[in-house]
């Protein structure tokens, strides 16, 4: 599991180079956005269950067939599994946010996920809609907390969405 700094050091160490201007710029931007990352993570931690609940309601409003008979989130067991998955995306997203790196998402969430979803019939398109809804809710809450640069918050959710919808392993 790596963060922005360890990833960079690893790259430079692999070729025995000192950190050059590119490296220093990228480390600087990581530290410059550090306070925003920490604030955003604090907002997520303090509001996690509310965020998941709100995102679930919006998802089922937007894609109501998910909770109708035959839908993948129909029956309370699957409804609960869906909210639990959303909670995983939020929690791991908050780790990646603090790390400034998506490695934790690859390692702990995304590897094998498509295959699992495909074999269970979990619709990937709707899952991505759910992740995007959660991103918007988090962005709004984080903005209320005074973080002006929303891109920091977007990155992990967009990464999960992209990888989940496009990666064919």
- The window from 1-9, 13-21, 27-35, 117-125 that contacts ligand PEB (CB under 6 A) reads 117-125
Q: Find the shortest distance in angstroms from Cβ 135 to ligand PEB.
A: 13
Of the residues 19, 108, 111, 132, which one makes contact with ligand PEB according to CB under 6 A: 108
Under a CB-based contact definition with an 8 Å cutoff, are residues 156 and 96 in contact? yes
Q: Residue 136: which of 161, 108, 115, 103 has the closest Cα?
A: 161
Q: Which of 88, 103, 136, 149 binds ligand PEB (CB under 6 A)?
A: 88
Query: Considering beta carbons, is residue 67 or 147 the nearer one to ligand PEB?
Result: 67
Tell me the C-alpha distance between 124 and 51, whole Å. Answer: 20
CB of 24 to ligand PEB, least distance (A): 34
Using CB under 6 A as the binding rule, whether residue 104 contacts ligand PEB is answered as no
**11 vs 23: CA distance, rounded Å:** 10
Residue 100 interacting with ligand PEB (CB under 6 A): no
Rounded Cα distance, 118 and 108, in Å: 18
Q: Which of 90, 127, 134, 156 lies at the binding interface for ligand PEB (CB under 6 A)? A: 127
Nearer to ligand PEB, 36 or 130 (CB): 130
23 exposure class (CB count in 10 Å sphere: 0-12, 13-18, 19+): middle
Question: Which residue, among 51, 3, 58, has the nearest Cα to 26 in the 3D structure?
Answer: 3
Residue with tokens 């050091």: 9
User: Given the complex with ligand PEB, which of 44 and 113 has the nearer CB atom?
Assistant: 113
- Residues found near ligand PEB in the complex (CB under 6 A): 66, 72-73, 78, 81-82, 85-86, 88, 108-109, 113, 116, 120, 122-123, 126-127, 130
């Amino acid at each position: 599991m790596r963060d922005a700094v360890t990833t960079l050091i690893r790259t430079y160490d692999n070729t025995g180079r000192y950190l050059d201007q590119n490296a220093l710029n990228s480390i600087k931007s990581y530290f410059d956005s550090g306070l925003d990352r920490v604030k955003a993570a604090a907002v997520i931690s303090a509001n996690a269950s509310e965020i998941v609940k709100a995102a679930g309601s919006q998802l089922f409003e937007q894609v109501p067939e998910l909770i109708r008979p035959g839908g993948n989130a129909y029956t309370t067991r699957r409804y609960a599994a869906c909210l639990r998955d959303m909670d995983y995306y939020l929690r791991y997203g908050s780790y990646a946010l603090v790390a400034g790196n998506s490695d934790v998402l690859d390692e702990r969430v995304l590897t094998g996920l498509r295959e699992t979803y495909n074999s269970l019939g979990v619709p990937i398109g709707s899952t991505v809609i759910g992740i995007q809804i959660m991103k918007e809710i988090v962005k709004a809450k984080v903005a209320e907390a005074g973080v002006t640069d929303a891109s920091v918050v977007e990155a992990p959710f967009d990464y999960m969405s992209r990888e989940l919808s496009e990666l064919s392993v």
